[in-house]
Amino acid sequence: MTPEPTPDGPLTFSFLTLFPELLAPFASEAILGKARERGLVDVNLVNMRDFSQNKHLKVDDTPYGGGAGMVIRVDVAERALASLPPADEVILFSPAGQPLTQAVAEELAAKSHLAFLCGRYEGFDARVEGLVTRELSIGDFVMMGGEAAAACVLEAVARLRPGVLGDADSHRADSFSSGLLDYPEYTRPLAWQAQEVPEVLRGGNHAAIAAWRREQALKRTLARRPDLLASAPLTPQDSATLLALGATPDDLRAWGAPPPPPPKKVKRRRKPDDTPSGT
C-alpha cells in the first residue's frame, strides 16, 4: 500500500543550481504558487556560485585526463549542501540514476526536506556521488542541465502532498497511480466534429460509469503500454475484459493476472409441456 504523505509542515524542496532564475517562475505560478502561499510546499533555490570562494564566482574546472567540457567541483557542491538544514534525501540528477516513476514520486512525497543537485556542463566531479543518497533520471535522453528535470520532480511530487490539489482523491485515479493508464475524459461540447461524448457518461448510472472507465483504462493500457500490466493490480474481471479486448491466455500468464471468473451457467427454462423424468 502506498504510504500517505505526512501533513505535518510543508515539504521543502532545495534546488542547488547555477541558474536559479530558470526555476523561480515555475515554482511561483499556478497550483505550485498557491501551495507555497498556503505553506504546503516550500521551494529553496540555492545558487552554487555563492559557494565558489573566488572573485570570479567560478564553480567548474577542466577535467583531469583531458576531454571536452567543464566539470563542477565537488568542494563547491559540498559547501552548498552544508548550508542547508539536514535533508531526508540528497538527490543527484544523473543518466545512471533510478528512473523517476509514480511510485518514486509517492515515496518522496512522504519526506519533509528534499535537496537536489542540478548539474550543468559535463556534470559534477564523480566524488559528488558520495554526498548523495539517491540518483534520479527522468529518461534516456540528454539535456543541457538538471533544472528541467528538477521542475518535473517538483510538480510530480508536490501535487501528492495533502491539500495541494483541490480534490484530495484526484491523484489516485491518475495514470500510473492505479497501475494503468488513465481512462479518457470528456466535457462540453456534447458533440464536436461528429464525435459525441459516450452515452454511458451521460446516463447518471455511477456503477456503469465506473465499469466503463475501468474497461477504457485497460483498453488504453493494452494498446499503448502493455508492459504496465505485469505490475498492475488486476482482478479476475479485468482478466476477462482483457481477453475480450484481444489479449491471450498466454498474455495473462505472463502478466501474472488472475484467471477470469468461470462463465455463468445458463439455466434452460422448462417449457410448459415438458414432462419431469420418472413420471
Degrees to nearest 5, angle at CA 240 with 234 and 246: 105
Residue 140 marked as a ligand binder = yes
Matching residue, cell 535522453? 141
SS3 159: coil
Strands 60-61 and 71-72, sheet pairing: antiparallel
Residue 141 marked as a ligand binder = yes
44, 84 Cβ separation under 8 angstroms: yes
The single residue of 95, 162, 189, 259 carrying the catalytic annotation is: 95
Is 258 an active-site residue?
Answer: no
Residue 97 marked as a ligand binder = no
Is 122 an active-site residue?
Answer: yes
Residue 51 marked as a ligand binder = no
| 279 vs 274: CA distance, rounded Å | 11
The single residue of 159, 161, 238, 260 carrying the catalytic annotation is: 159
The single residue of 4, 29, 174, 196 carrying the catalytic annotation is: 174
Is 174 an active-site residue?
Answer: yes
The single residue of 50, 89, 122, 135 carrying the catalytic annotation is: 122
Is 88 an active-site residue?
Answer: no
HEC secondary structure over 53-81: CCCCCCCEECCCCCCCCCEECHHHHHHHH
Residue 72 marked as a ligand binder = no
Q: Enumerate residues 6+ apart whose C-beta is below 8 A from 190.
A: 196, 197, 202
Please name which of 114, 133, 107 lies closest in space to residue 44, comparing C-alpha atoms: 114
SS3 105: helix
Degrees to nearest 5, angle at CA 10 with 9 and 15: 145
Going by the annotation, the residues of the binding site for S-adenosyl-L-methionine are 119, 138-143
Q: Which residues are annotated as a binding site?
A: 119, 138-143
**Annotated catalytic sites, by residue?**
95, 122, 159, 174
